[in-house]
Amino acid sequence: MKAMAMAKGKMFVPMVFVLLLVVHYVGGATYEVKEEEAEDDRILGLPGQPKVSFKQYSGYVTVNEVAGRALFYWLTESVHLSFSKPLVLWLNGGPGCSSVAYGASEEIGPFRINKTVAGLYLNKFSWNTVANLLFLETPAGVGFSYSNRTSDLHDTGDLRTAKDSLQFLIRWMERFPRYKSREVYLTGESYAGHYVPQLAKAIVTYNANSNNHPINLKGFMVGNAVTDNYYDNLGTVTYWWSHAMISDRTYRQLINTCDFSHQKASNECESLFNYAMDQEFGNIDQYNIYAPPCNNSDGSGTQTGRHTIHLPHRPHPIFRQISGYDPCTEKYAEIYYNRPDVQKALHANSTKIPYKWTACSLELNGNWNDTDISILPIYRELIAAGLRIWVFSGDIDSVVPVTATRYSLAQLKLPTKIPWYPWYVKKQVGGWTEVYEGLTFATVRGAGHEVPLFKPRAALQLFKSFLRGEPLPKS
């Protein structure tokens, strides 16, 4: 059952029916030339940026010369001993949302944008405290990434995204040869539940069939991840009912009327979903059902079409905070990254893209042409290949909820190594976890769709345990 909505972090996802919708020395002159090329991408400093000890690079890598497709990246190296730390690639979802807007600027990156949008402040829970972070805006048409062939924006999907992302990584490592032998991990969230495993599979295939230097991929981790259309949708409806977002009557009608196995929802089923969201949800942030939404000046939420979705442009927002969470962070990114001085510092928009930088592209999302119905077959392949695989879920997200992920992963029927237990951070329960043969699943208590945004300390602990390949702490 296919329809498209947008989920932040993001993904224009299922409101259902998924609603898819180490220093490595490579010798002499070659190394020096490549390092000079990388040095051209060095960020000397961003407007309003505090002083930092780590190096940053950003720019473009052409992934298809014929079409003129080029993907934009931002590398923030590790704070300490970056040469000995792994390379971690982060992808956001949508499909059509920016890793710069979300991953880098409000989740795991070293900086946050302040409310005045005049500058940046440090994120003390940044993941670059333990790894080198590579944020990629993919596919072309997302953020600063572009294609000279406008038809690419109306004809893209999972296959091209994986192909272009692999090509990016190969060519990026030619520009940064010191990372060629480094351990590589892939991470992401939301519709990156497709991107990340698909890219991991592409890398494994490339390594098996290439005579070139293999990419040293060790594993991947995804959060609140779109995984399987049928079980994701069933789990989403179950979550809505179990969290009192919809009535018993609507829940029964959805279960009895909707055939979750179909790619396209029937008119009756779609009407039920629209009724649930429009009439029963109320004005909530569906990405964190207990947080205040970023409202318009009249107190209403932003409406787009039939669904309440998280979009960056909200006129006259009311800035409200709860537990340090600011629901209007996307708006700050939208303003900051459209500043000419910021784009110049980032070596971005050098070709003068004929549209504004946005956190998410409605055009790409609305024209997404191919999507895997289920990622579970890829999980089985990559478990067999021996990759480290972690899946985590913020438990107050109603867009790709924890129930959806649990229903989907249950279909793998993996033997349990370490039974379900609470894990801890700062003497508090951070969530719950279970370790299976070939895969670790963890929840993050009180986190929404973008786990590191809502629970940054717990998310960093999760990331550290993942990199070490160790179970989450029991005390």
377: region left, alpha or beta (phi > 0 left; psi from -120 to 50 alpha): alpha
Number of C-beta neighbours around residue 412 at 10 A: 14
**DSSP code string of 125-153:** T-GGGTSEEEEEE-STTSTT-B-SSGGGG
Distance CA 56, CA 58 (A): 7
In this structure, are residues 306 and 15 in contact, taking their beta carbons and an 8 Å threshold?
no
270 three-class SS: helix
Helix, strand, coil shares of the chain as percentages rounded to 5? 35, 20, 45
Whether omega before 95 lies within 30 degrees of 0, making that bond cis, reads yes
**Structure-token pair, residue 32:** 């020096």
Q: Checking DSSP bridges between strand 184-189 and strand 87-91, what pairing results, if any?
A: parallel
Amino acid 285 reads: D
Half-sphere exposure of 343 (CA within 13 A, CB side): 17
Amino acid 360 reads: C
Which of 307, 310, 347, 449 is an active site residue? 449
Which of 99, 190, 393, 465 is an active site residue? 190
Which of 310, 393, 397, 398 is an active site residue? 397
> Is 397 known to be catalytic?
yes
> Is 126 known to be catalytic?
no
What angle do the packed helices 248-257 and 229-242 form, to 10 degrees?
Answer: 170
> Is 313 known to be catalytic?
no
Residue numbers annotated as active site: 190, 397, 449
